[in-house]
Amino acid sequence: HPRVGVFALQGDVREHARVLTGLGAEVSLVRRPDELAAVQGLVIPGGESSVIDKLARAFGMQGPLRQAIASGLPVYGTCAGLILLADRITGAIDGQETLGGLDVTVARNAFGSQVDSFETELAVAGFDGPPVHAAFIRAPLVTEVGPRATALAALSDGGVVAVAQGALLGTAFHPEVSGETRFHELFLQNVRAA
Ligand code: GLN
C-alpha cells in the first residue's frame, strides 16, 4: 500500500483522507518536515490558499515542500492546492506566495461573486467511463498553460480546470466531495510509478 499524506494545516483534509483510504492507501496527515519526509505522495486540499501559504511558511514547510516537488514527489492539489502548485498566480492577496511546480498561471476566485459555486460535468483526458461530476467552490481557473504542463479538462467555454505535469496533478474543482475517485487513483498511480 502506498503511504501518502494530506497537507493538513487548513482545508478539506478529511474528505481527501477518506477517498485515499477508500482506495487502499495508507494515509497520514502532514504538518511538519519529518512527516513530509515519511510519505511517498502528497495531496494539498482545497481551502484558502493564502492561509495555507501563510501557515506553510510559519511551520517551516515552504522550503521542504518546494524541495520535495523539485525532486519529483507526486503531488495532487485541488482548488487552493492547485493555486499553491502554480508557478504563477493572479489575484494574490497579502503577499501570498506559491510553492510552484506546475508551469501554469492560475487566477484566484475566477468565477465572480454571483456564481461562487457551481457543479458541472467534465470530460477528462485519459479517463474512461462517465464524465466527472465537478464541484467548483470559489474556484480558480487556469488562464495559461505553459509548454511543460498539459491541460486535462476544460469547461465548455474552453477555460482549463485540470492540469498535469510529470508527477504533479491539479484540479480547480473538488472531486473529493462528489464521490469521484479517478483523480485520486491517477495520483496513486503516479505514487506507485515514482
Ligand atoms: N478561493 C480559494 C483560494 O483562493 C480556493 C477555494 C477552494 O479551495 N475551494 O484559496
Q: What is the pLDDT of residues 20-76, one digit of tens each?
A: 999 999 999 999 999 999 999 999 999 999 999 999 999 999 999 999 999 999 999
Q: Going by CA atoms, what residue is nearest to atom 8 of ligand 1?
A: 46
182 is in an annotated binding site: no
H-assigned helices in the chain: 13-22, 33-37, 49-58, 62-70, 80-85, 182-193
pTM of structure: 0.97
190 CA distance to ligand 1 centroid (A)? 25
Residue 113 has pLDDT above 80, yes or no: no
Write the CATH number of the domain with boundaries 3-193. Answer: 3.40.50.880
Q: Which of 15, 109, 161 has the most ligand 1 atoms within 8 A of CB, as the residue to mutate?
A: 109
Which sequence positions are flagged as catalytic? Answer: 79, 174, 176
Listed by start position, the domains of the chain span 3-193
